[in-house]
Chain A
Amino acid sequence: MNYDWRWSVFLQPTLGGAMNYAELLLRGAGITVVTAVLAWLIALSLGTLIGVLRTVPVRSLNAIARSYVEIFRNIPLLLQLFLWYFVLPELLPESAGNWLKALPHGSFYVAFIGLGFYTASRVAEQIRSGIQSLPKGQTNAGLALGMSLPQVYRHVLVPRAYVTMLPTLTSEGLAIMKNTSVALTIGLAELTAQARAMQEYSFHVFEAFSAATVMYFALNVVIVQFARLIERRTAHLA
């Protein structure tokens, strides 16, 4: 292997000279984290809503929620981001489309919204199975105590579903962090994109991707630790 390994390359300035490669990657990691966090907020809130709608005793709402899940879960994420970014503005009235195209940081908005909608469909399925795994008696007991059905969901079913499904929700949290890298296809300068940029400018491809790997790993270790903490705190509820 004829390769010039040099870890000090991270301290070298990039072509533009404004910052060094370590800074370039850290900025990418920052964008990755912000995108993942915002996407997760959408995924968890929208996913919970859709998951609940899949279990309520109203046929039409079940059908709507089910369609949402099937559409967003069955189209590849890459394609979804591409559709949001390139196709949606062409379908809107021209003025709205042009406004959307001229929006600064457009790829960032598309990335976290698109990723959030996609992950919401997966979270919804987990919430649904979490709710359905609870004994029927829980709902009946709640109703017998004089709660309305929304109250039963709010105080009994959803909290218990969260606790039951915590391990799989953690996996979704890990997946969302890694899935942000798909957004490089719509030009978001996140961690993987910056690692690619670094190898293009410096030709130190192994150093660039090693650093990106370590950063993804570190970010996900933080998520796992955080999830463990929640698991411990909520263990008495399960």
Chain B
Amino acid sequence: MNAKALTVLVLGATSLVASAQGLSGTMAKVAETKVITIGYRESGIPLSYVDDKQQPVGYAIDLCMQVAEAVKKELKMPTVEIKFASVNGSTRIPLIANGTVDLECGTTTNNVERQKQVAFSTTTFIAAARFASKRVDKLSDVDDLKGKTVTANAGSNNLELANKLNTSRNLGLNILPSKDFAEGFLMLETGRANALVLDDILLAGVVANSKDPSKYVISSQALSAEPYAIMMRRDDPAFKKVVDDSLKHIYASGAAAKLYAKWFQAPIPPRGITLNLPPSKALQQVWKTPIDSADPAAYTVE
């Protein structure tokens, strides 16, 4: 028997095992390949980023590790290996679609448009778009931005939001797109822009890591609500149920609150900075009654 025939036979046998268990979609794939792959972001502090040892860490990564363990338990296959794959804004969709990544655990907002392409788990975090500015400029709410220069990531929801506010409130903003939020912050730092619009959790990370964090303020006014969730392949209800059930369990058991404290209220790698952000009311609400809605109105952001 040649090697090719052998592979066909072995593959056939394992898929028989999978189908015998009545598995489909991602669950069947994990059972067959004995690997589950978590997608992580390089710089989504403190949700999903790499530490000084180039290991993916963060709040979303910890949640996903527990979800992956739940998948192993559900399959009764303790030998399934958990692998990591780096993703970015452009690669996350193709890598989910072609099966390279099974769970994308980053800073991806769940919205209706995207649901046509992928599925989202129960909400894991609720961010709000806010703006950072220099303390000396005394910019506290959106109306203070009249006639100012504002920057946001090119091609992000935040940039669209800035455009919308500009027209709806007649602010006369000069809006500059920046490549990523590190460069957006550089624009703020060098005075090329007066304000940087970004999801608050990422803003907190960039400001905390800057040379002199006390020079910047983050607006108390929230401009939007962005429900983050774990991203999966669509049309796979069996896998989504396992993921959602395990998140529900993590929320109900209080493990989520502990993980939250670890990443948001204690020193985190690589530089031992503490973000000092207590959980929002909206997130506490999700812990009590988990939902996977993409509608920002479903999350009461104060």
Contact surface of A with B, Cβ cutoff 8 Å: 1-4, 6, 14-16, 18, 86, 89-90, 98, 101-102, 104, 106-107, 184-187, 189, 193-194, 196-206
Report whether A16 and B190 are in contact in the complex, using a CB–CB cutoff of 8 Å. no
- The complex places the Cα of A201 from the Cα of B177 at a distance, in Å, of 15
Closest to A104 in B: B174
Report whether A196 and B155 are in contact in the complex, using a CB–CB cutoff of 8 Å. yes
- Taking CB atoms, residues of chain B closer than 8 Å to A204 are 117
Report whether A193 and B154 are in contact in the complex, using a CB–CB cutoff of 8 Å. yes
Q: Can you offer 30 A-B residue contacts whose CB atoms are under 8 A?
A: A2-B96, A3-B93, A4-B116, A4-B117, A4-B234, A14-B160, A16-B164, A86-B186, A89-B190, A101-B190, A101-B192, A187-B154, A187-B176, A187-B178, A187-B179, A187-B183, A189-B177, A193-B154, A194-B155, A196-B89, A196-B155, A197-B154, A201-B113, A201-B155, A202-B117, A203-B93, A203-B113, A203-B118, A205-B93, A205-B94
Report whether B190 and A90 are in contact in the complex, using a CB–CB cutoff of 8 Å. yes
Dominant secondary structure of chain A at its interface with chain B: helix
Is B298 at the interface (CB under 8 A from chain A)? no
Closest to B157 in A: A15
Tier of interface size on chain B: 35 or more
Report whether B179 and A3 are in contact in the complex, using a CB–CB cutoff of 8 Å. no
Q: How far is the CB of A176 from chain B (nearest CB, A)?
A: 21
- Taking CB atoms, residues of chain A closer than 8 Å to B114 are 202-203
What 5 A-B pairs are tightest by C-beta distance, nearest first? A197-B155, A203-B117, A3-B97, A15-B160, A200-B155
Closest to A12 in B: B113
Is B267 at the interface (CB under 8 A from chain A)? no
Is B289 at the interface (CB under 8 A from chain A)? no
Residues B125-184 near A (CB distance < 8 A): 149, 151, 154-157, 159-160, 163-164, 174, 176-179, 183
Is B98 at the interface (CB under 8 A from chain A)? yes
- The complex places the Cα of A26 from the Cα of B154 at a distance, in Å, of 17
Report whether A196 and B154 are in contact in the complex, using a CB–CB cutoff of 8 Å. yes
- Taking CB atoms, residues of chain A closer than 8 Å to B90 are 196, 199, 205
Is B72 at the interface (CB under 8 A from chain A)? no
- The complex places the Cα of A16 from the Cα of B155 at a distance, in Å, of 12
- The complex places the Cα of A203 from the Cα of B89 at a distance, in Å, of 10
The interface bits of chain B over 190-233 (1 if a CB of A lies within 8 angstroms of the residue's CB, else 0) are: 11100000000000000000000000000000000000000001
Known contacts A15-B157, A16-B160, A90-B190; is-contact A203 B177 (Cβ 8 Å): no
Contact surface of B with A, Cβ cutoff 8 Å: 89-90, 93-94, 96-99, 113-114, 116-118, 149, 151, 154-157, 159-160, 163-164, 174, 176-179, 183, 186, 190-192, 233-236
Report whether A16 and B116 are in contact in the complex, using a CB–CB cutoff of 8 Å. no
Closest to A82 in B: B183
User: Of A1, A98, A200, A203, which one neighbours B156 at CB under 8 angstroms?
Assistant: A200
- Taking CB atoms, residues of chain A closer than 8 Å to B177 are 187, 189, 193
Other A-B contacts than A199-B90, A200-B89, 10 sampled, CB-CB below 8 A, are A3-B97, A4-B117, A89-B190, A104-B174, A185-B183, A187-B176, A196-B90, A201-B160, A203-B93, A203-B113
Closest to B108 in A: A203
Report whether B116 and A203 are in contact in the complex, using a CB–CB cutoff of 8 Å. yes
Closest to A194 in B: B155
- The complex places the Cα of A16 from the Cα of B167 at a distance, in Å, of 10
- Taking CB atoms, residues of chain A closer than 8 Å to B191 are 98, 101
Closest to A200 in B: B155
User: Of A3, A98, A101, A193, which one neighbours B155 at CB under 8 angstroms?
Assistant: A193
- Taking CB atoms, residues of chain B closer than 8 Å to A189 are 154, 177
Of B90, B97, B155, B163, most buried by chain A (CB within 10 Å of CB) is B155
Q: How far is the CB of B155 from chain A (nearest CB, A)?
A: 3
- The complex places the Cα of A198 from the Cα of B113 at a distance, in Å, of 12
Report whether A2 and B190 are in contact in the complex, using a CB–CB cutoff of 8 Å. no
- Taking CB atoms, residues of chain A closer than 8 Å to B116 are 4, 6, 203
Closest to A205 in B: B93
- Taking CB atoms, residues of chain B closer than 8 Å to A90 are 190
Q: How far is the CB of A10 from chain B (nearest CB, A)?
A: 14
Q: How far is the CB of B283 from chain A (nearest CB, A)?
A: 24
Known contacts A107-B176, A196-B89; is-contact A2 B97 (Cβ 8 Å): yes
- Taking CB atoms, residues of chain B closer than 8 Å to A196 are 89-90, 154-155
Q: How far is the CB of B184 from chain A (nearest CB, A)?
A: 9
Report whether A1 and B98 are in contact in the complex, using a CB–CB cutoff of 8 Å. yes
- Taking CB atoms, residues of chain A closer than 8 Å to B99 are 1-2
- Taking CB atoms, residues of chain A closer than 8 Å to B192 are 86, 89, 101, 106
Q: How far is the CB of A122 from chain B (nearest CB, A)?
A: 25
- Taking CB atoms, residues of chain A closer than 8 Å to B149 are 102
